[in-house]
Amino acid sequence: MDTLRINNNNRTLEVVAKIMNSYATQYDCAVKYNAEYNRLDFHGDASHRKAIAYETSNVLNVG
Protein backbone atom coordinates (compact mmCIF):
# COMPACT_ATOMS: atom_id res chain seq x y z
CA MET A 1 0.00 0.00 0.00
CA ASP A 2 1.33 3.41 -1.01
CA THR A 3 0.15 6.90 -0.17
CA LEU A 4 -0.80 9.27 -2.98
CA ARG A 5 0.17 12.83 -2.17
CA ILE A 6 -2.23 15.51 -3.42
CA ASN A 7 -2.94 19.09 -2.45
CA ASN A 8 -5.92 19.24 -0.12
CA ASN A 9 -7.08 22.83 -0.51
CA ASN A 10 -10.83 22.45 -0.22
CA ARG A 11 -11.24 19.52 2.20
CA THR A 12 -13.03 17.31 -0.29
CA LEU A 13 -10.52 14.50 -0.12
CA GLU A 14 -13.18 11.84 0.31
CA VAL A 15 -14.94 12.95 -2.89
CA VAL A 16 -11.62 13.00 -4.77
CA ALA A 17 -10.97 9.45 -3.52
CA LYS A 18 -14.27 8.25 -4.96
CA ILE A 19 -13.55 9.86 -8.33
CA MET A 20 -10.00 8.47 -8.40
CA ASN A 21 -11.28 5.04 -7.42
CA SER A 22 -13.60 5.08 -10.44
CA TYR A 23 -10.56 5.40 -12.69
CA ALA A 24 -8.47 3.03 -10.59
CA THR A 25 -10.92 0.17 -11.10
CA GLN A 26 -10.17 0.35 -14.84
CA TYR A 27 -6.59 -0.61 -13.95
CA ASP A 28 -7.57 -3.25 -11.38
CA CYS A 29 -6.44 -0.92 -8.59
CA ALA A 30 -8.17 0.98 -5.78
CA VAL A 31 -7.93 4.38 -4.13
CA LYS A 32 -9.50 4.69 -0.69
CA TYR A 33 -9.83 7.62 1.68
CA ASN A 34 -8.17 7.04 5.04
CA ALA A 35 -10.05 9.29 7.48
CA GLU A 36 -7.76 8.47 10.39
CA TYR A 37 -4.73 9.96 8.62
CA ASN A 38 -6.65 12.24 6.19
CA ARG A 39 -4.96 10.74 3.14
CA LEU A 40 -5.58 8.63 0.07
CA ASP A 41 -4.33 5.04 0.14
CA PHE A 42 -3.48 3.41 -3.16
CA HIS A 43 -3.78 -0.35 -3.64
CA GLY A 44 -2.51 -2.02 -6.80
CA ASP A 45 0.24 -1.89 -9.39
CA ALA A 46 2.30 1.25 -8.77
CA SER A 47 2.94 1.66 -12.49
CA HIS A 48 -0.69 2.82 -12.89
CA ARG A 49 -0.58 5.59 -10.27
CA LYS A 50 0.38 8.38 -12.66
CA ALA A 51 -2.25 7.40 -15.23
CA ILE A 52 -4.97 7.38 -12.58
CA ALA A 53 -3.86 10.75 -11.22
CA TYR A 54 -3.65 12.18 -14.75
CA GLU A 55 -7.16 11.04 -15.71
CA THR A 56 -8.60 12.35 -12.46
CA SER A 57 -6.88 15.72 -12.82
CA ASN A 58 -8.27 16.07 -16.35
CA VAL A 59 -11.79 15.52 -15.07
CA LEU A 60 -11.29 18.03 -12.25
CA ASN A 61 -9.36 20.47 -14.49
CA VAL A 62 -6.54 20.53 -11.94
CA GLY A 63 -3.56 19.85 -14.15
SS3 of the chain: CEEECCCCCCCCHHHHHHHHHHHHHHHCCEEEEECCCCEEEEECCHHHHHHHHHHHHHHHCCC
pLDDT for 33 beyond 80:
yes
Q: What is residue 42's predicted lDDT score, i.e. its pLDDT?
A: 95
First to last CA, the chain: 25
* Number of other residues whose CB lies within 10 A of the CB of residue 27: 15
pLDDT above 80 (res 1):
no
Average pLDDT over residues 45-58: 93
pLDDT band at 11 (very low <50, low <70, confident <90, very high): low
- Residue 35's pLDDT band, with cuts at 50, 70 and 90, is confident
Q: Is the pTM of this model over 0.85?
A: no
